[in-house]
Amino acid sequence: MNITMVISAIAGLSWVLVVAILVFLVIRASRQQPIKGMTTVLVITLVFALLLNTISAGLVFIEPQERGVVISAIQKGVRADALQPGLNWVVPYFENVVKYSISRQTYTMSIASEEGDIRGDDSVQARTADGQVVLVDASIIFSIDPTKMVDVHIKWQDQYVNNLVRPQVRGVIRDAVSQFKVEEVYSAKRAELSEQLNQKMSVKLEEEGLLLVDFVLRNITFSDEYAASVEQKQIAEQKAQEAAFVVQQRKQEAEQARQTAQGQADAAVIDSQGKAQSRIIAAEADAEAVVIQAKAEAEARLIQAEAERQALELIAEALATNPDLLSYEYIQRLAPGIQVMLVPNDNPFLLPLPSLDTTETVEIPAPVEVVPETGP
């Protein structure tokens, strides 16, 4: 509760008191009772009531979300500046204050009967560049420019919503929609349309002392005929997309089958190549092993032959220097204790034994028979 309300309440009570005193005086006068002292009280109460009412008429309290336009009988009809929030003084009985809210306000035009500021279908009917009719639902959020409050009052007073905002919004929507085709309005260029509406509405309202906070393009509805055609088109496009998807799926399946077959063929080729390569490597290894073995055997034979040659040379040298060595080796290979040895009669010679007497040799036609010594 602000002070102006308190003063107004006291001023109202003072007038009640004045009336009560006046009634009391009338009653006393009708009864022919003295009223001289009460008349003075009535005058004082009347002056006090007039003073309080004058003060109440001059004091104006402006809320933070308000501004006040002073209608003046002494300043060319209206003060140049609006009253700011707080307690203000105006000339009593010569100036009056009209309060305006500077808070944000929303005005909605909708096809739904319960959503808009006006009951029933209040959507904006507009025609696109290709001649199609669309119904546009929109909401505009705005506020009064505090610095232009007096101008708004002079031009529109409290009718700026119905006489300014509503006509401007509907006109701007129709102008903007007429620059686009119907398919662009609801799909590709809807964002561009909304941005254009924002810009145009901001300029229009600013020229008249209002500030645009936001322009909301709520919904776009089409005629029944066009909506049916759009639905059929969407169904056809959906079926085409499904058919294209099936074709693409079949292509993918065929490609997968081809890749699988190609992979199997490549694997078979690689396997065959690997086996052939393995056989070649094995054959080469076998051939190399045979060559190595042959070389080793040949070298072994050469080494053996060389050793035998050297041995024979050594034996020949030994026999040349010692002829009895051959007889000695012969005897060494005989069994111990042999005293007599018989050989065939056609033997060309008989090697002499150093410890045997040659006269005891007997020739017989039978094969060689060795008789071991039985004792001394």
Q: Is residue 95 part of a domain?
A: yes
13 and 52: one domain?
yes
> What CATH number does residue 175 fall under?
3.30.479.30
- Give the model's pLDDT for residue 229: 67
The mean pLDDT of 241-268, rounded to a whole number, is 84
Lookup: tokens for 74: 């002494």
| pLDDT per position as a tens digit, 78-136 | 998 999 999 899 999 898 999 999 999 999 988 887 787 888 888 888 888 888 888 88
For residues 144 and 51, membership in a common domain is answered with no
- CA-nearest of 150, 137, 152 to 211 is 152
Q: Is the pLDDT of residue 184 over 80?
A: yes
Q: Looking at residue 30, what is its pLDDT?
A: 83
Q: Is residue 287 part of a domain?
A: no
CA 361 to CA 347: how far, in whole Å? 13
CA 35 to chain centre: 94
| 358-370: average pLDDT | 44
- Find the mean pLDDT for residues 259-279: 81
Per-residue model confidence as pLDDT tens digits over 18-37: 888 888 888 877 887 777 77
Residue 294 is assigned to a structural domain of this protein: no
Residue 342 confidence (pLDDT): 57
pLDDT for residue 48 is more than 50: yes
Residue 68 lies in a domain: yes
Q: Is 117 helix (H, G, I), strand (E, B) or coil?
A: coil
User: 37 and 22 in one domain?
Assistant: yes
Residue with the bigger pLDDT between 287 and 172: it is 172
Report the pLDDT value the prediction gives residue 211, as an integer from 0 to 100: 94
For residue 345, is it within any domain? yes
Q: 189 and 94 share a domain?
A: no
Q: Are residues 111 and 208 in the same domain?
A: yes
Last residue of a domain, one of 58, 81, 100: 100
Alpha-carbon distances, residue 19 vs 6, 12, 23, 43, 289 (angstroms): 20, 11, 6, 11, 145
User: Considering the entire predicted model, what is its pTM?
Assistant: 0.55
Q: Is the pLDDT of residue 251 over 60?
A: yes
Is residue 35 domain-resident? yes
Q: Is 226 helix (H, G, I), strand (E, B) or coil?
A: helix
β 105-109/133-144 pair status: antiparallel
On whether the CB atoms of residues 215 and 163 are closer than 8 A, the answer is no
Shared domain check, 114 and 217: yes
Asked if the structure places residue 172 within a domain, the reply is: yes
Least confident segment among 114-128, 308-322, 341-355: 341-355
Cα separation, 219 vs 211, whole angstroms? 23
Point out the least confidently predicted range of 29-38, 188-197, 256-265, 357-366: 357-366
Lowest mean pLDDT among 51-55, 239-243, 255-259: 239-243
Count: domains in the chain: 3
Q: How confident is residue 359, by pLDDT bands cut at 50, 70 and 90?
A: very low
Q: Quick one: 95 and 115 in the same domain?
A: no
Assess whether pLDDT exceeds 70 at residue 326: no
Determine, yes or no, domain membership for 240: no
- Interacting residues of 104 by C-beta distance below 8 A, sequence separation 6+: 141, 142, 143, 213
Q: State yes or no: pLDDT of 258 exceeds 70.
A: yes
Show which of 222, 244, 272 is a domain's final residue. Answer: 222
- Domain enclosing residue 21, as ranges: 3-100
What mean pLDDT comes out for the span 55-81?
89
Residues 44 and 113 in one domain: no
163 pLDDT higher than 50: yes
* Residues 86 and 114 grouped into a single domain: no
The last residue of one of the domains, among 222, 256, 281, is 222
Identify which of 107-111, 287-291, 362-366 has the greatest average pLDDT.
107-111
Q: How confident is the model at residue 350 (pLDDT cuts 50, 70, 90)?
A: very low
pLDDT for position 371: 43
**Residue 113 sits in the same domain as residue 203:** yes
Whether residues 43 and 123 share a domain: the answer is no
Q: Residue 206: what pLDDT? A: 92
Handedness of CA 126, 128, 134, 139 (dihedral sign): negative
- Segment of 1-5, 191-195, 219-223 carrying the highest mean pLDDT: 191-195
Same-domain check for residues 118 and 60: no
Of 125-139, 235-249, 315-329, least confident by mean pLDDT is 315-329
- Indicate if the pLDDT at residue 372 is higher than 90: no
Tokens at residue 284, please? 């080469």
